[in-house]
Structure 1
Amino acid sequence: MEDEEQAEKNMHKEGRAGVLSTAGHTTFRSSNRSKVPLIICSFIAIFIVLAGIAVLTIWLVYRPRRPNFRVISAAVYQLNATSPPFMSTAMQFTVLTRNPNKRLSVFYDQFSAFVSYKNQAITPQVTLPPLFQEPKSTVALSPVLGGAQVPVAAEVVGGMSMDEAYGVVGLSLVLTGKLEYKAAAGLTIIKTSIGHYRVYVKCDFFVGFKRGLIFGPMPLIGSNDLACRVDV
C-alpha cells in the first residue's frame, strides 16, 4: 500500500512539473511573438532615418540653384495696334540664360515663349526646342515671336498707341516650361524623388521708340529692368 501511495504522489508531482514547464514554454513563445512587430518597426524607422540622411547629404552637396535669365536686345519688325480688337506684331529677342550650378546641368523641356503687354498676350505662344545647359555655362536664345493677329482688349490697343506716341513701351517676355537638374556626368539626381520642376520666367523691360524711323532694333531702357524673374 505504501508503495502504491508513493507512486501516486510521484505521478502528481510529474504532472504538475509538466504543466509548469508547458506554461513557461508557452509564455516564452508568446513573449517572442510580441517582440517581432517592435523589431520590424525599429528596422523601418532606422531605414527611413538613413534614407533621409542620404537624401539630405546629396541635396547639400549638389544644392540646385535657379538659373538666371536676362534680355540683352530686342528688335521690333511690326507693331500694328490700329485695328482693334486685333493686334499684329513681329519681334525678336536675345535672351541670355546662365546655369549658376557647379555640379548640376539643367535640361529645359516643353519650353515656350510669348510677349505680353499689361499682362495680356500680344503674340501667339511659340514652342522652343529642348535645351541642355552644362554647369556654369551661358546660352543665348533668340526667339522670333508674332507674325499673326491676336485678339486683345480695347484698352490694350489704346494704351499701346499712347505709349508709342510717348516713345517708350513696356513689354514682358514670358517663358514657361519644365526644368530638370542633372549631375554633370548625366546621371539624374532628383528625378526619382521630385521629378521635373515647372519653370516660369518673366522679363519686364521698356523699349524706346522714335517716330518716323523704320522698325528694327530698339534700345532697351533702364538697366535694372533687364533681369528676369524666375519661379521654379
Structure 2
Amino acid sequence: MIVFIIALSVAVIVVREYSPKRGIKYEVTDASLTQFNLTSDKILKFNLAVTINVENPNKRSDFHYEKFEAVASYKHDSLMSVSIDPFEVEPKDKHPVSALFKGEQKMSLPNDEVSKMKTSTVYDIVLKLKVKHWAKYATIKIQENMKMACNLKVPLNSNGKSAVKFEVAKCEKA
C-alpha cells in the first residue's frame, strides 16, 4: 500500500510538472493597425500586424506546437486567418509569434455601426487562437488542443503615429 501511494504521488507530480495545461500564457504584446477603411459597399480594407508571446512556465519540458492558427475578427465578422509554422518553446522561455492580417472583407454591419466605425480611432478586434501542442516526458506524450480569445483595443496609426498606445492583452480560454 505504501509503494502504491508513493508511486501515485510521483505520477501526480510528473503529470502536473510536464502537462501542457500547466499555466501556458498567451498574450498579445503589440498590435499595429495601419489601414481600417470601410468602402460605401461595406467592404473593409485592413492591415493589422500582431505579436503574440507564448510563455512556457514549466521548468523541464519543451512545448512543441504543431498547429498555431490566428483568426482576426471585427464585430463578429471574421477578417482573415493566418497559420504559423510549427515551433517549440523551451522551458521557462517565451516565444514571439508574428502574424499579419492584410486584405479586404465584406462586412455585415448595420448603418449605425458604420457611422461609429468611421469616426473611431481605436477598434475592438478579437483575435482567436487555435493551437495544437504537446510535451513529452520519457515515453509519455501529453497532447492538447486549445482555443483562446484575445480581446484587443487597437489604435489606428496614421502616418506612422497613433494618438493612443496599444496595451498588452492577455488571452483567455474560449
TM exceeding 0.5: yes
Interval containing the TM-score (normalised by the shorter chain): 0.7 to 0.9
Instruction: Name the structure 1 match of 2:107.
Output: 152
Structure with more contact order per residue of length (Cα contacts < 8 Å, sep ≥ 6): 2
Relative to structure 1, the CA distance from residue 180 to residue 75 in structure 2 (aligned partners, 3 Å threshold; closer, same or farther) is same
Relative to structure 1, the CA distance from residue 219 to residue 106 in structure 2 (aligned partners, 3 Å threshold; closer, same or farther) is farther
SS at match of 2:141: coil
Structure with larger Rg? 1
- Cα deviation, residue 230, structure 1: 3.5
Find the partner of 1:137 among 65, 74, 93. Answer: 93
Deviations 1:90-125 (A, max 9, x none): 211122111111122111122111211123212x21
Contact 1:164 1:209 in 2 (8 A): no
Instruction: Name the structure 2 match of 1:189.
Output: 140
Find the partner of 2:149 among 198, 202, 205. Answer: 202
The code of the aligned residue for 2:171 comes to C
Instruction: Name the structure 2 match of 1:29.
Output: none
Q: Larger strand proportion, structure 1 or 2?
A: 2
| Count of aligned positions | 169
Instruction: Name the structure 2 match of 1:81.
Output: 38
TM-score by length of 1: 0.61
**CA RMSD across the alignment:** 3.0
Instruction: Name the structure 2 match of 1:91.
Output: 48
Relative to structure 1, the CA distance from residue 138 to residue 55 in structure 2 (aligned partners, 3 Å threshold; closer, same or farther) is same
TM-score by length of 2: 0.78
Deviations 1:186-215 (A, max 9, x none): x45334xxxx311112111212347xx336
Find the partner of 1:101 among 58, 72, 75. Answer: 58
**For residues 139 and 114 of structure 2, what CA distance do their matches in structure 1 show?**
46
| Structure 1: gaps spanning 5 or more residues | 1-48
Q: Larger helix proportion, structure 1 or 2?
A: 1
**For residues 70 and 160 of structure 1, what CA distance do their matches in structure 2 show?**
29
| Structure 2: gaps spanning 5 or more residues | none
